Amino acid sequence: MEQLNFFSIPSPCIGVCQSDEKGYCIGCLRSRNERFNWISLSDGQKSEVIKLALQRKRRRQFSLFKANEFQELYEKASKENSLFDAESEDSFSSIIQNPDLIDKLSPEKLDLFWWFLNTLFFPFLISCIATTFMENRELIASYFVNVYETEEIKDIASKVILDIKVGDWAIVTAKNLNFREGPTLTAPIIRQLEIGETIEVIDDMGNDWLYVRSMKDDVLYSGWVFRRYVVFIKVARI
Protein backbone atom coordinates (compact mmCIF):
# COMPACT_ATOMS: atom_id res chain seq x y z
CA MET A 1 0.00 0.00 0.00
CA GLU A 2 1.38 3.38 -1.02
CA GLN A 3 2.03 5.85 1.77
CA LEU A 4 -0.37 8.81 1.84
CA ASN A 5 1.04 12.25 1.09
CA PHE A 6 -0.73 15.41 2.22
CA PHE A 7 1.03 17.59 -0.36
CA SER A 8 1.49 16.80 -4.04
CA ILE A 9 5.04 16.50 -5.29
CA PRO A 10 5.96 19.40 -7.62
CA SER A 11 7.68 18.88 -10.94
CA PRO A 12 11.49 19.14 -10.71
CA CYS A 13 11.55 21.09 -14.01
CA ILE A 14 13.76 24.20 -13.79
CA GLY A 15 12.85 25.61 -17.21
CA VAL A 16 15.91 24.25 -19.06
CA CYS A 17 14.07 21.85 -21.34
CA GLN A 18 16.71 20.37 -23.63
CA SER A 19 17.63 16.70 -24.03
CA ASP A 20 21.13 15.27 -24.07
CA GLU A 21 22.26 12.47 -26.39
CA LYS A 22 20.71 9.85 -24.09
CA GLY A 23 17.33 11.58 -23.90
CA TYR A 24 17.71 12.96 -20.37
CA CYS A 25 16.69 16.56 -19.75
CA ILE A 26 19.75 18.75 -19.19
CA GLY A 27 17.87 20.72 -16.52
CA CYS A 28 16.08 18.14 -14.37
CA LEU A 29 17.73 14.91 -15.63
CA ARG A 30 14.44 13.09 -16.13
CA SER A 31 14.06 10.69 -19.07
CA ARG A 32 11.59 11.40 -21.88
CA ASN A 33 9.04 8.94 -20.46
CA GLU A 34 9.40 10.41 -16.98
CA ARG A 35 8.77 13.93 -18.28
CA PHE A 36 5.88 13.07 -20.58
CA ASN A 37 4.10 10.86 -18.01
CA TRP A 38 4.74 13.05 -14.95
CA ILE A 39 1.14 14.21 -14.55
CA SER A 40 -0.22 10.65 -14.57
CA LEU A 41 2.30 9.31 -12.00
CA SER A 42 1.36 8.68 -8.38
CA ASP A 43 3.23 10.53 -5.64
CA GLY A 44 5.19 7.37 -4.89
CA GLN A 45 6.24 7.07 -8.52
CA LYS A 46 7.15 10.77 -8.63
CA SER A 47 9.35 10.33 -5.56
CA GLU A 48 11.13 7.44 -7.28
CA VAL A 49 11.68 9.55 -10.42
CA ILE A 50 13.21 12.35 -8.35
CA LYS A 51 15.47 9.83 -6.62
CA LEU A 52 16.64 8.50 -10.00
CA ALA A 53 17.25 12.06 -11.26
CA LEU A 54 19.44 12.79 -8.23
CA GLN A 55 21.42 9.60 -8.88
CA ARG A 56 21.96 10.68 -12.48
CA LYS A 57 23.16 14.07 -11.29
CA ARG A 58 25.72 12.42 -8.97
CA ARG A 59 26.97 10.18 -11.78
CA ARG A 60 27.22 13.12 -14.18
CA GLN A 61 29.29 15.00 -11.62
CA PHE A 62 31.39 11.86 -11.18
CA SER A 63 32.07 11.59 -14.93
CA LEU A 64 33.33 15.18 -15.03
CA PHE A 65 36.32 14.37 -12.85
CA LYS A 66 36.74 10.67 -13.70
CA ALA A 67 39.18 11.50 -16.51
CA ASN A 68 41.48 13.23 -14.01
CA GLU A 69 40.93 10.73 -11.23
CA PHE A 70 43.74 8.40 -12.29
CA GLN A 71 46.32 11.15 -12.02
CA GLU A 72 44.87 12.00 -8.62
CA LEU A 73 45.36 8.37 -7.58
CA TYR A 74 49.05 8.62 -8.37
CA GLU A 75 49.35 11.90 -6.51
CA LYS A 76 47.58 10.39 -3.51
CA ALA A 77 49.87 7.35 -3.64
CA SER A 78 52.98 9.53 -3.57
CA LYS A 79 51.66 11.32 -0.48
CA GLU A 80 50.71 8.15 1.37
CA ASN A 81 53.79 6.12 0.50
CA SER A 82 57.25 7.68 0.24
CA LEU A 83 58.41 4.79 -2.00
CA PHE A 84 55.95 5.76 -4.71
CA ASP A 85 57.88 7.97 -7.16
CA ALA A 86 57.69 9.04 -10.82
CA GLU A 87 59.31 5.80 -11.94
CA SER A 88 56.67 3.82 -10.07
CA GLU A 89 53.93 5.85 -11.74
CA ASP A 90 55.31 5.14 -15.22
CA SER A 91 55.78 1.43 -14.46
CA PHE A 92 52.32 0.94 -12.98
CA SER A 93 50.62 2.82 -15.82
CA SER A 94 52.30 0.48 -18.30
CA ILE A 95 51.34 -2.63 -16.31
CA ILE A 96 47.68 -1.63 -16.07
CA GLN A 97 47.68 -1.33 -19.88
CA ASN A 98 49.75 -4.51 -20.38
CA PRO A 99 49.68 -6.90 -17.37
CA ASP A 100 52.48 -9.07 -18.85
CA LEU A 101 54.95 -6.35 -17.87
CA ILE A 102 54.45 -7.22 -14.20
CA ASP A 103 57.13 -9.92 -14.57
CA LYS A 104 59.74 -7.19 -15.02
CA LEU A 105 59.11 -5.64 -11.60
CA SER A 106 61.64 -6.09 -8.83
CA PRO A 107 60.37 -7.73 -5.60
CA GLU A 108 60.31 -4.31 -3.91
CA LYS A 109 58.35 -2.72 -6.75
CA LEU A 110 56.00 -5.72 -6.82
CA ASP A 111 55.13 -5.20 -3.15
CA LEU A 112 54.54 -1.51 -3.86
CA PHE A 113 52.35 -2.38 -6.84
CA TRP A 114 50.11 -4.64 -4.73
CA TRP A 115 49.85 -1.90 -2.13
CA PHE A 116 48.72 0.55 -4.83
CA LEU A 117 46.13 -1.90 -6.21
CA ASN A 118 44.57 -2.82 -2.88
CA THR A 119 44.66 0.62 -1.28
CA LEU A 120 43.72 2.91 -4.17
CA PHE A 121 43.11 1.29 -7.55
CA PHE A 122 40.57 -1.44 -6.68
CA PRO A 123 38.26 0.93 -4.72
CA PHE A 124 38.37 3.33 -7.70
CA LEU A 125 37.64 0.50 -10.14
CA ILE A 126 34.65 -0.66 -8.08
CA SER A 127 33.19 2.86 -8.13
CA CYS A 128 33.55 2.91 -11.94
CA ILE A 129 31.80 -0.48 -12.25
CA ALA A 130 28.95 0.75 -10.06
CA THR A 131 28.57 3.91 -12.14
CA THR A 132 28.49 1.98 -15.43
CA PHE A 133 26.01 -0.51 -13.98
CA MET A 134 23.61 2.26 -12.91
CA GLU A 135 23.79 3.99 -16.28
CA ASN A 136 23.01 0.79 -18.21
CA ARG A 137 20.34 -0.26 -15.73
CA GLU A 138 18.52 3.04 -16.17
CA LEU A 139 18.73 2.86 -19.95
CA ILE A 140 17.17 -0.61 -19.93
CA ALA A 141 14.58 0.29 -17.28
CA SER A 142 13.37 3.24 -19.38
CA TYR A 143 11.84 0.72 -21.81
CA PHE A 144 9.95 -1.09 -19.06
CA VAL A 145 8.26 1.79 -17.19
CA ASN A 146 5.08 0.59 -15.44
CA VAL A 147 5.48 -2.90 -16.96
CA TYR A 148 4.87 -5.63 -14.38
CA GLU A 149 3.51 -8.58 -16.37
CA THR A 150 5.77 -11.42 -17.49
CA GLU A 151 4.48 -11.69 -21.06
CA GLU A 152 4.64 -7.94 -21.59
CA ILE A 153 8.25 -7.87 -20.36
CA LYS A 154 9.16 -10.71 -22.75
CA ASP A 155 7.39 -8.98 -25.63
CA ILE A 156 9.29 -5.70 -25.13
CA ALA A 157 12.60 -7.53 -24.66
CA SER A 158 12.09 -9.35 -27.97
CA LYS A 159 11.69 -6.07 -29.86
CA VAL A 160 14.30 -3.66 -28.47
CA ILE A 161 17.99 -3.62 -29.36
CA LEU A 162 19.99 -1.31 -27.08
CA ASP A 163 23.29 0.46 -27.59
CA ILE A 164 25.23 -0.95 -24.64
CA LYS A 165 28.93 -1.39 -25.20
CA VAL A 166 29.80 -3.79 -22.37
CA GLY A 167 28.14 -6.60 -20.45
CA ASP A 168 25.21 -8.94 -21.00
CA TRP A 169 21.91 -7.86 -19.48
CA ALA A 170 18.60 -9.40 -18.54
CA ILE A 171 15.23 -8.56 -16.99
CA VAL A 172 13.60 -10.52 -14.17
CA THR A 173 10.28 -12.02 -15.30
CA ALA A 174 9.10 -13.53 -12.00
CA LYS A 175 7.85 -11.99 -8.78
CA ASN A 176 10.19 -12.31 -5.79
CA LEU A 177 12.91 -14.22 -7.66
CA ASN A 178 15.39 -15.75 -5.19
CA PHE A 179 18.89 -14.29 -5.61
CA ARG A 180 21.19 -16.91 -4.09
CA GLU A 181 24.79 -17.22 -2.91
CA GLY A 182 25.31 -20.38 -4.99
CA PRO A 183 23.84 -22.24 -8.00
CA THR A 184 21.63 -24.61 -5.98
CA LEU A 185 18.13 -24.43 -4.53
CA THR A 186 19.59 -24.94 -1.04
CA ALA A 187 22.04 -22.01 -1.24
CA PRO A 188 21.30 -19.07 1.11
CA ILE A 189 19.13 -16.31 -0.33
CA ILE A 190 20.84 -12.91 -0.57
CA ARG A 191 17.57 -11.14 -1.33
CA GLN A 192 14.57 -11.41 -3.63
CA LEU A 193 14.59 -9.65 -6.99
CA GLU A 194 11.49 -7.82 -8.19
CA ILE A 195 9.76 -8.50 -11.47
CA GLY A 196 11.07 -6.08 -14.10
CA GLU A 197 14.38 -5.59 -12.28
CA THR A 198 17.49 -5.22 -14.45
CA ILE A 199 20.46 -7.50 -13.81
CA GLU A 200 23.87 -7.89 -15.46
CA VAL A 201 24.89 -11.42 -16.43
CA ILE A 202 28.48 -12.01 -15.34
CA ASP A 203 28.74 -15.67 -16.32
CA ASP A 204 26.49 -17.89 -18.42
CA MET A 205 27.65 -21.49 -18.10
CA GLY A 206 24.88 -22.80 -20.35
CA ASN A 207 23.00 -24.65 -17.61
CA ASP A 208 20.01 -23.72 -15.44
CA TRP A 209 21.84 -21.03 -13.45
CA LEU A 210 23.22 -17.59 -14.24
CA TYR A 211 25.82 -15.72 -12.20
CA VAL A 212 24.59 -12.13 -12.14
CA ARG A 213 25.09 -8.70 -10.62
CA SER A 214 22.27 -6.65 -9.10
CA MET A 215 22.04 -3.39 -7.19
CA LYS A 216 20.00 -2.31 -4.19
CA ASP A 217 20.36 1.05 -2.42
CA ASP A 218 23.42 1.87 -4.57
CA VAL A 219 25.23 -1.30 -3.41
CA LEU A 220 26.29 -3.99 -5.91
CA TYR A 221 25.67 -7.66 -5.14
CA SER A 222 26.75 -10.78 -7.06
CA GLY A 223 24.86 -14.05 -6.90
CA TRP A 224 22.92 -16.72 -8.76
CA VAL A 225 19.44 -16.82 -10.31
CA PHE A 226 17.47 -19.50 -12.14
CA ARG A 227 17.67 -18.90 -15.90
CA ARG A 228 14.00 -19.72 -16.49
CA TYR A 229 12.87 -16.56 -14.72
CA VAL A 230 14.82 -13.96 -16.70
CA VAL A 231 14.84 -12.76 -20.30
CA PHE A 232 17.97 -11.47 -22.03
CA ILE A 233 18.18 -8.00 -23.55
CA LYS A 234 19.52 -7.74 -27.08
CA VAL A 235 22.36 -5.25 -27.39
CA ALA A 236 24.14 -3.72 -30.37
CA ARG A 237 27.92 -3.80 -30.04
CA ILE A 238 29.30 -0.71 -31.77
* Each residue's pLDDT tens digit, 62-94: 555 555 667 778 888 888 998 888 888 888 888
* pLDDT for res 154: 93
Q: Report all structural domains of the chain as residue ranges with CATH numbers, in order of start.
A: 7-142 (no CATH), 150-235 (2.30.30.40)
* pLDDT for res 91: 86
Write down the pTM of the prediction.
0.58
CA R_g for the chain: 22
Q: What burial class does residue 78 get, using C-beta atoms within 10 Å of its C-beta: 0-12 exposed, 13-18 middle, 19+ buried?
A: middle
* pLDDT for res 165: 67
Task: For strands 234-235 and 161-162, give the pairing.
Answer: parallel
**Over the chain (238 residues), what is each successive 10-residue block's mean pLDDT?**
51 82 84 88 82 75 59 85 88 81 86 89 78 81 85 90 80 95 94 94 88 88 95 78
